[in-house]
Amino acid sequence: MSENSKPDVQSNPLATEPINKLILRFSVPSIISMLVGAIYNIVDQIYIGHGIGVLGIAATNVAFPLTIICTAIALLLGVGAAANFNLSLGAGKKERAGHFIGTAFGLIAFIGVAVGAASLMFIRPMLHLFGATPDIMPYALPYTRIIALGVPFHIFSIAASHLIRADGSPKFSMSIMLAGAIFNVVFDPIFLFVFDMGIEGIAWATTLGLILSSAIGLYYLVKKFNTVRIRKRFLRPHLSYITGIFALGVAPCFNQLAMTVVQVTLNNVLRHYGALSDYGSEIPLAAVGVISKVNVLFMAVIIGIGQGCQPINSFNYGAHNYARVKTTYRRAVAGATLVSAVAFITFQLFPEQVVAIFGSGSPEYVRFAVRYMRIYMFVTFANGVQPVTSNFFTSIGRAKLGVLMSLTRQVIFLLPLIFTLPIFLGIDGVMYAGPLADTTTLILAIYLVRREFARMTELESLQG
């Protein structure tokens, strides 16, 4: 079959199976994979809160931007390659699809090692930039050194899970992350309490779990990848394929990088305005660290829904089945909104119970954490739309709109509000920045999707 020959795409289940069934088939493993990734941080926080205390929690919060950066790079390469792979398959270009997988393989290995080495070389200034105070630094340094050793494996495991899902194996994709998470959950208490390794034990459990996940992912990519046979020539880097991967991976990457910028800014704003308040600097840093991890857990479900729909959207858009693309988006948003509503009720009615999961603290710590959760997360019921929409645009090859949606909440709206509102409201300004940014992001998402649907309807009419 030549590069540009058109196969019978209707023989592919992505083009024929009921959409609800496909969304469940691809999204459930994706959600579990995302939840498992969040569990790495959640479990660490719980054990650190009970075994080390508030300064330990604050230390992991300070180190968290490095984790977000790794995830951003993994999404750049994994989502970018997966979207191009499925779009190429939908258009009948199997050779081109294979080149995207092979190119991604080399980029993942090279960039992972480079980022890990840079993190170790510049660890102290990096942590200071991320918001570490003198009291937090003795905990943050040993923890982050070990986490930095796992950076290449962190990037590889997440990126590989996207490539494997694109190959039509969502359950195996899920197993990659699940294996590492189980290892982490089992060995966190062993290293912390049995071997008395302190915060370093938590970091080792995470890093070793990532190594296990990477080993399983590597096995699949080398031995079991089945849609396209990965040949040696696919591994040679070509600028056109690198550019294609970056173009469609940049939206989820920017979304994660924007989270890093916001997290670093938030840490420094909290450190400054916390020192001017009755709470001090450490209490807001620790409390917001806990809430950000809870938010990551909730968003993992939402992002899992969006990422699970990627192969469906990409293949059908490449095959010009626009009606299936629109239906997939609508149902993904409906599912994400249902999850968001449950999260909203939890955050508003049970904030004390959520905070208590991560250990006890002073009355001031609990009071700040509860108030922050209720205000900052007030528009959670609508937060499912933005990530699903950003992933939707990326999956259909509309890279610029994907980037725009990925930047709206974090950079365009939230970041300026975090800077400006505390000038007038003190540390409370940080809390009110969240719902304001969420509301404006929702309005923009609705407008852009309606316009895109109208464009696809036009394309349908031209097809006759």
Which residue has better confidence, 303 or 444?
A: 444
The residue with tokens 């205390």 is 53
Pairwise CA distance, residues 237 & 218, whole Å: 19
Q: Transcribe 82-117 into DSSP letters.
A: HHHHHHHHHTT-HHHHHHHHHHHHHHHHHHHHHHHH
Pair 425, 432: CB distance under 8 Å: yes
Residue 151 is predicted with a pLDDT of 93
Distances (CA, A) of 364 to 248, 278, 279: 45, 9, 7
> Who's near 308: CB < 8 A, 6+ residues apart?
23, 26, 27, 28, 29, 30, 31, 165, 170
Pair 188, 47: CB distance under 8 Å: yes
pLDDT band at 374 (very low <50, low <70, confident <90, very high): very high
- Mean pLDDT across 193-198: 84
Distances (CA, A) of 79 to 88, 94, 443: 14, 18, 26
Pairwise CA distance, residues 166 & 312, whole Å: 9
Q: Of all helices (H) and strands (E), which one includes residue 354? A: helix 351-356
> For residue 450, how far is the Cα from the chain centroid?
25
For residue 62, count other CB atoms closer than 10 A to its CB.
29
Instruction: For 294-350, write each residue's pLDDT tens digit.
Output: 887 788 888 888 888 888 888 888 888 898 999 999 999 999 999 999 999 999 999
Pair 177, 36: CB distance under 8 Å: yes
Of 273, 138, 114, residue with least CA distance to 198: 138
Pairwise CA distance, residues 55 & 165, whole Å: 39
Residue 37 is predicted with a pLDDT of 66
Residue 318 is predicted with a pLDDT of 82
Kindly tell me if the per-residue pLDDT of 179 is higher than 70. Answer: yes
Residue 2 is predicted with a pLDDT of 42
Range with lowest mean pLDDT among 69-73, 211-215, 267-271:
267-271
From the number of C-beta atoms within 10 Å of its C-beta (0-12, 13-18, 19+), residue 56 rates as: buried
Kindly tell me if the per-residue pLDDT of 6 is higher than 60. Answer: no
Residue 359 is predicted with a pLDDT of 66
Pair 317, 397: CB distance under 8 Å: yes
For residue 231, count other CB atoms closer than 10 A to its CB.
11
Of 43, 67, 290, residue with least CA distance to 158: 67
Range with lowest mean pLDDT among 52-66, 237-251, 333-347, 437-451:
52-66
Instruction: For 118-168, write each residue's pLDDT tens digit.
Output: 999 999 999 988 877 788 888 889 999 999 999 999 999 989 888 888 887
Residue 114 is predicted with a pLDDT of 94
Residue 40 is predicted with a pLDDT of 64
Instruction: For 24-77, write each residue's pLDDT tens digit.
Output: 888 887 787 777 767 666 777 777 777 777 777 778 778 888 888 898 899 889
Residue 71 is predicted with a pLDDT of 87
Distances (CA, A) of 149 to 106, 154, 186: 19, 10, 20
Residue 165 is predicted with a pLDDT of 83
DSSP-derived 3-state class of residue 321: coil
Percentage of the chain lying above the pLDDT 70 cut: 95
pLDDT band at 270 (very low <50, low <70, confident <90, very high): confident
Q: Is the pTM of this model over 0.85?
A: no
- Mean pLDDT across 379-386: 89
Kindly tell me if the per-residue pLDDT of 258 is higher than 70. Answer: yes
